[in-house]
Amino acid sequence: MIVLMQPGTNGVHVAEVERQVATDGYEAHVWHGSRTIVAVVGHSSRPLLPETYANLPGVEKVTPVKVPYTLASRQFHAEDTQIKLNGAAMGGEKVLVIAGPCSVEGREAIIEAAHAVKEAGATALRGGAFKPRSSPYSFQGHGELGLQWLAEAREQTGLPIVTEVMDPNLVGLVCQYADVLQIGARNMQNFTLLNAVGEARKPVLLKRGMSSTVEDLLMAAEYILAKGNHEVMLCERGIRTFETSTRNTFDANAIPVLKHLSHLPVVADPSHAVGKSEYVEAIARAAVAAGADGLIVEVHPDPANAMSDGRQSLDPAAFARMVESVRRIAQAVGRSA
């Protein structure tokens, strides 16, 4: 349920609405945009009566929410949410590019990669210190050491760090180093982890599960938002289908659909979506043309010798060309990059 306050409402009125929500056993999330809005969510044995709220002082209108994700919905925020990143904002006018290797392979390697992607125009650095691997016998990442190397790369280049967290017990540790917490596709419905990053005060990049619907993705975001962390970026990274010529199927449709249903920024990952480096640039362009606010791209100084995902990684020169061509697309849709 959405409670729209009258223009120029004061804190006393909002507090009264919040008190009523508490009395009824629900939770209130207040949004101060062009207008103040209170979203009422949660579950309780007491019914939620719209008329009770409509009659409170300072309330203009009470509307039910037709989708199961109240806080992630456009009904709650009409305006695009903007999440600050390196002097710009994901969800703002500029299309932001996050780039870097699949895994942090070593100190020199990640610092070299950071300089390379910065030079080509990246806004942030990606790199995995904790790696979800299908096999228990594959390299699982350098762990905290990897985080330290990422921090060193940030120090040298100024690029903020985007890195994955897989374990609810390590959210605190990862927060000490990371600027953005990444939730991987395989953990999109790991509700314990979603709750843990919801308690954190760092932006979250939430990857769509490989067979999750757009609605599933928005519900997963709602878990994080409901815990009070309002900085969630939604990431389309390809879904699993019958097609075998590419690693996944990039669901371009999801981009305008997510932008229509939600105020959260939408990031596309063309690397995982297509899985072969020769097609990454085309899909990066398509994503921005469809309305994506940002990109996250795998770049490796020497893809042929990468420890993971080399087949889909761009080398720095190809990445620089990609940024250039994405910039032209961004301009064609009235943005910059």
Residue written as token pair 């999109």: 188
| Residue 215 makes contact with a second copy by CB under 8 A | yes
| Residue 68 makes contact with a second copy by CB under 8 A | yes
Q: What is the full DSSP assignment across 214-244?
A: HHHHHHHHHHHHHTT---EEEEE--B--S--
Q: Which is nearer to a second copy, 10 or 331 (CB)?
A: 331
Q: Which is nearer to a second copy, 17 or 290 (CB)?
A: 290
Instruction: Provide the angle, in degrees to the nearest 10, between the axes of the packed helices 277-290 and 316-332.
Output: 20
Q: How far is the CB of 307 from a second copy (least distance, A)?
A: 11
| The pairing of beta strand 96-100 with beta strand 124-126 | parallel
| Residue 76 makes contact with a second copy by CB under 8 A | no
Phi/psi region, residue 29 (left: phi>0; alpha: psi -120 to 50; beta: rest), is beta
The span of 6-14, 93-101, 110-118, 213-221 binding a second copy (CB under 8 A) equals: 213-221
The span of 86-94, 96-104, 141-149, 211-219 binding a second copy (CB under 8 A) equals: 211-219
Site residues for a second copy, 276-315, by CB under 8 A, read: 278-279, 282-283, 285-291
Q: What is the full DSSP assignment across 81-150?
A: P-EEETTEEETSSBPEEEEE-SB---HHHHHHHHHHHHHHT-SEEE-BSS---SSTTS----THHHHHHH
Q: Which is nearer to a second copy, 9 or 73 (CB)?
A: 73
Q: How far is the CB of 235 from a second copy (least distance, A)?
A: 16
CB-based contact 58:6 (threshold 8 Å): yes
Site residues for a second copy, 128-147, by CB under 8 A, read: 132-139
Q: Which amino acid is at 271?
A: S
| Residue 333 makes contact with a second copy by CB under 8 A | yes
CB-based contact 197:204 (threshold 8 Å): yes
Q: How many residues bind a second copy (CB under 8 A)?
A: 74
Residue choice 249, 302, 310, 320 for contact with a second copy (CB under 8 A): 249
Interatomic CA distance for residues 97 and 117, integer angstroms: 9
Residue written as token pair 């967290």: 165
Interatomic CA distance for residues 135 and 90, integer angstroms: 34
Q: Which is nearer to a second copy, 18 or 216 (CB)?
A: 216
Q: Which is nearer to a second copy, 154 or 285 (CB)?
A: 285
| Residue 254 makes contact with a second copy by CB under 8 A | yes
| Residue 328 makes contact with a second copy by CB under 8 A | yes
| Residue 244 makes contact with a second copy by CB under 8 A | yes
Residue choice 62, 117, 255, 295 for contact with a second copy (CB under 8 A): 255
Instruction: Provide the angle, in degrees to the nearest 10, between the axes of the packed helices 254-261 and 277-290.
Output: 30
| Residue 187 makes contact with a second copy by CB under 8 A | yes
Site residues for a second copy, 6-45, by CB under 8 A, read: 41-43
Angle 111-126-200 (CA atoms, 0-180°, nearest 5)?
120
Residue choice 145, 253, 321, 336 for contact with a second copy (CB under 8 A): 253
